[in-house]
Amino acid sequence: MSIKFKLENFEGPLDLLLHLIEKAEVDIYDIPISEITQQYLEYLDYMQEMDLEVASEFLVMAATLVEIKSKMLLPKPKKEDNSAQEIDPREELVQKLIEYKKYKEFTLLLKDKFEIYEKVFYKSAEPIEDYLSDFTSITGVSVDLLAKTLSSIIQKNSTSSKRKVREIHRETFTVDDKIKEISRLLVIKSVFYFEELFDESADKYEIIVTFLATLELVKRKFITVEQYLNFDRILVKRRKMNS
């Protein structure tokens, strides 16, 4: 049966062979070797008619297909031992095709991923030093540590509030209110522990507002937040103003 080909670039003989098998919609484990060999040879003839150079590896595959076809046409010898399993001449070729198909599918997957991610642009991390003019506001205290401290205070207050029988209605606080409250505390004592800012009766909302007020005071350079050793309590200090 003659077949018309659309000239395509194949990466190698296995690529061409896999294309013919998929186009014929046959089982890769049971290749109709006679039909596929004929189509493969017709494709090579077509390439030669187009004055295209046929790589030696394509010719080697053609010889392999012809050899397999010849072996399958030969009469099968009678088995002396019924338990002996007959070797299929196509077996080695099938294994190569299956392995190649897996690599090809994975390559196409990587290609799709590359096409997606080549359109994604990432902004390189910039050192925070470029945005801060003074590093004395926070000493030995990381953002993670502040977040963990805040979380532990919220958890502690939530646990203690469950033991209270009397219901307390929440007051409305703003960051400015808490800034004024902390400023008044700084007048009385210039140094205190971070957790002293949070009353046991404070709810989650008040704790978060107080925390934001503290960060705002650090930003305004009114206070410093320090920790000298790992796992030490965090100290809040009134900042000394330059005369």
Answer yes or no: do 135 and 112 share one domain. Answer: no
pTM of the model: 0.41
Answer yes or no: do 21 and 98 share one domain. Answer: yes
Is residue 8 one of the residues assigned to a domain? no
* Mean pLDDT (the chain, rounded): 75
Helix (H, G, I), strand (E, B) or coil at 238: strand
Question: Which amino acid, 209?
Answer: V
Domain that holds residue 205: 130-162+170-238
Rounded to an integer, what distance in angstroms lies between the CA atom of residue 18 and that of residue 21? 5
Is residue 123 one of the residues assigned to a domain? no
Answer yes or no: do 38 and 136 share one domain. Answer: no
Helix (H, G, I), strand (E, B) or coil at 213: helix
Rg (CA), the chain: 39
Is residue 198 one of the residues assigned to a domain? yes
Answer yes or no: do 140 and 213 share one domain. Answer: yes
Answer yes or no: do 149 and 95 share one domain. Answer: no
Q: How confident is the prediction along the chain (243 residues), in pLDDT tens digits per residue?
A: 444 444 466 778 888 888 888 888 888 888 888 888 888 888 888 877 766 666 788 888 888 888 888 888 777 666 555 555 677 888 888 898 899 888 888 888 888 888 888 787 777 776 655 544 444 455 556 666 777 777 777 777 666 555 444 445 455 778 888 888 888 888 888 888 878 887 776 778 888 888 888 888 888 888 888 877 666 777 888 877 654
Answer yes or no: do 53 and 145 share one domain. Answer: no
Give residue 223's pLDDT: 84
Is residue 192 one of the residues assigned to a domain? yes
Count of structural domains within the chain: 2
Give residue 116's pLDDT: 83
Is residue 80 one of the residues assigned to a domain? no
Is residue 157 one of the residues assigned to a domain? yes
Answer yes or no: do 231 and 194 share one domain. Answer: yes
DSSP result, 39-77: HHHHHHHHHHHTTPPPPHHHHHHHHHHHHHHHHHHSPPP
Answer yes or no: do 155 and 219 share one domain. Answer: yes
Is residue 4 one of the residues assigned to a domain? no
Give residue 135's pLDDT: 46
Q: How many CB atoms lie within 10 A of CB 184?
A: 9
Answer yes or no: do 26 and 106 share one domain. Answer: yes
Is residue 5 one of the residues assigned to a domain? no
Assign residue 137 a region (left: φ > 0; alpha: ψ between -120 and 50; beta: otherwise): alpha
DSSP result, 79-129: PSSTTSPPPPTTHHHHHHHHHHHHHHHHHHHHHHHHHHHTT---PPP--GG
